[in-house]
A and B are shown apart, each in its own frame.
Chain A
Amino acid sequence: MRVPVIALKRRQWEPFAFASPALVLIAIVIVFPLIYSFYLSLRDFDLSVGSDSTFVGARNYAEALLRDERFIASVWNTVVLIVPSLVCELLAGLGIALLLNRVTHGRPIITALLAIPAMVSPVMAGMAWRMMFGVKYGAINNLGRQFGLLDVYFDWFSSPFMSVVAVVLVEVWQNTPFMMLVLLAGLQSIPQELYESARVDGASPRQSFWHITLPLLKFTMVVGVMIRMIDLTKLFGLIFVLTFGGPGGATETVAFNTYLVGFKDFRMSYAAALSYVIVGGVLIMTLAFQFVQRWREARAA
């Protein structure tokens, strides 16, 4: 009678045994550091001054949210970068997905090719475009000059506005393919019969687009936008290589500012607090987005 008992026990600990390496590692490398970071954020640990620190409670958070002009400016900068990027990625992604949807042969190759920008590192994308933006020898200015469109010396980073444009451009270049893939998958899940019966009913292509495609694509678009929005809040590598936050602080994103505080000023506690403010912000933003979506859906019903 011992075998069933052992068998029962084994059943209970076997899954644990299988998952334990992962669980242990996650606990040590992710969960513990995050807790430690929160603990740090309640102190005033500053590596540039020394290794001692005292407990200061929520002071870092108060400073970040109320008195740190540079951090608040970086929040605004991040928003300024997110909104145009999302809009452009959605529109361009939709356009390309629609085009690609009409193609039958060659689609896998084109899809794979178009996906490449999304698979390279933002740092590499940033470097490639930085060279292309080069004032005197970059591809864009060379092209512009060759066609007589651009002035002798057009600098893409000469003003805060142009720098934002440049960053948005590279972001859109890199991530439209993702949006396009998501929307393409969504388009392909729409049953053809709907279009057929619409055409039989005399609907123009534009009408079927507005009344069939878009509504059925809405959910996919929402998912895509949410994923991209969360990714955009993490904008760091691209900024590092393309503008390093410049000119002045015009393209300093929240992640970049926190990096400077933590690894240039070495104010680790304050940086930890900033990172939690960012996490909180992303959470609120995501929840707000979902809330708005549900509210609009409820209204439409």
Chain B
Amino acid sequence: MSTLVGTTPAVAVRRANRHRVGRLIADVFTYLGLAVTLVFFLGPFAWILTTSLKGNNDFFAFPPVWIPSDPSLAHYVGLFTRASGLRYFLNSLTISSMSMVAALLVSLPTAYAIARWRFGGTVFGTFLLVLRMLPAIALIIPVYLMYKTLGLTNSYLGLVILYTVVYIPFAVWLLVGFLRDFPVEIEEAAMIDGCSRVGSLIRVVVPIIAPGMAVVALFSFIATWNEFLFAVVLTGIETKTMMVLVTTYTSGGTDMFYGEASASVVLGVLPAFAVAFMLQRYLVKGLALGGTKG
């Protein structure tokens, strides 16, 4: 039982003060802890960014120079020209965009079928779970052989097809969630007015769940942008993605080609930075479903 009852005002004030001091210490500790946390989790990005802007003098200096004295974009220029970085950046952009659009196109009707007609509902759920547990290596071995015979290696189409299909279960799952929140009455009203199912889907449902679709699109963009194993096996010089480009710097290159290496990392994490703020509310769900690793 509370001991506040039989105390003098002085004791109560002292206790209240101790509480306040205690809370203050806790607050300081909290903010300090969060500051350290932010430095730990974001520090590497800051270092890579500054490194990509440093010149030789700064990079090879000791005592270490943390802020570039003469920041320049020379490394980015070098990456884009000498190392064909622009081509690879565009490749990543193209492949991810195409996969994102294709995934949406295919998943939306499917999600609709599940949400409206309970089409094989649990089947998709289990399928998603199974796919989540499947290591990419299990899929790439047969797919590689199939693609080789079909001539789909080193092509945009091959990768886009693979990425799209692998991403369908996640997209469907997320979209089902959004569709379930959608009031059926609006749709039925449209259909009474003479719209077909498909028509109501396109003209009524899509505009309203557009934010949800954007979420799915962004997640799928990031997942395909980040994907590595399929890309490293299936791409060649024309279709190489940013992820594969970065690996050319692992062989003894991190000191000699530090500029290009760090510049390619900066470009490679750009989408993550762009998307993180937009997808805040859905982060847990997206990450849990494996939506960003691919």
Contact = CB atoms under 8 A, between A and B. Distances in A.
A25 interface: yes
B137 A121 contact: no
Contact of A272 (B141, B288, B294): B141
A282 B109 contact: no
Contacts of A278: 135, 137-138
Interface residues of A, number: 92
B182 interface: no
B141 A37 contact: yes
A50 interface: no
Contacts of A29: 143, 161-162, 165-166
Interface in B172-192: 172
A99 B30 contact: yes
A136 B255 contact: yes
A219 interface: no
A282 B142 contact: no
B288 A127 contact: no
A282 B226 CA distance: 23
B68 interface: no
Given A262-B137, A275-B135, A275-B137, A14 B228 contact: no
A119 B53 CA distance: 23
B249 interface: yes
Contacts of B137: 234, 236, 255, 258-259, 262, 271, 275, 278
A142 to B, nearest CB: 4
Contact of A118 (B105, B145, B265, B292): B292
A213 interface: no
Interface stretch (B10-18, B56-64, B83-91, B207-215): B56-64
B132 A15 contact: no
Interface in A17-74: 17-19, 21-23, 25-26, 28-30, 33-34, 36-37, 40
Given A33-B146, A272-B142, A120 B109 contact: no
B138 A123 contact: no
A181 B292 CA distance: 15
A18 B45 contact: no
Nearest to A263: B233
The A interface, classified by DSSP as helix, strand, loop or mixed, is: helix
B3 A139 contact: no
Contact of B246 (A119, A127, A283): A127
A276 B138 contact: yes
Contacts of B261: 127, 131
Given A124-B265, A131-B254, A262-B137, A99 B107 contact: no
B243 to A, nearest CB: 5
Nearest to A108: B280
Contacts of A146: 63-64
Contacts, number: 273
Contacts of A22: 106-107, 109-110, 168, 172
B34 A25 contact: no
B113 A19 contact: yes
Contacts of B43: 139
A110 B144 CA distance: 41
Given A114-B38, A116-B272, A134-B254, A30 B243 contact: no
A173 interface: yes
Given A241-B246, A259-B137, A272-B141, A116 B276 contact: yes
A204 to B, nearest CB: 11
Nearest to B273: A116
B276 A110 contact: no
A118 B287 contact: yes
A286 B283 CA distance: 24
Contacts of B258: 131, 137
A127 B250 contact: yes
Nearest to A237: B228
Contact of B37 (A16, A99, A286): A99
User: Which 10 A-B residue pairings sit nearest by Cβ, starting from the closest?
Assistant: A121-B226, A142-B64, A33-B142, A275-B138, A18-B109, A29-B165, A37-B142, A15-B119, A119-B272, A15-B113
25 contacts: A19-B109, A21-B106, A23-B110, A26-B169, A29-B162, A103-B31, A110-B34, A113-B38, A114-B37, A115-B283, A115-B287, A116-B45, A116-B276, A121-B227, A122-B226, A128-B269, A173-B41, A202-B3, A223-B288, A234-B135, A234-B136, A237-B228, A241-B247, A275-B137, A276-B138
Given A116-B273, A241-B247, 4 more contacts: A15-B116, A111-B280, A262-B141, A275-B135
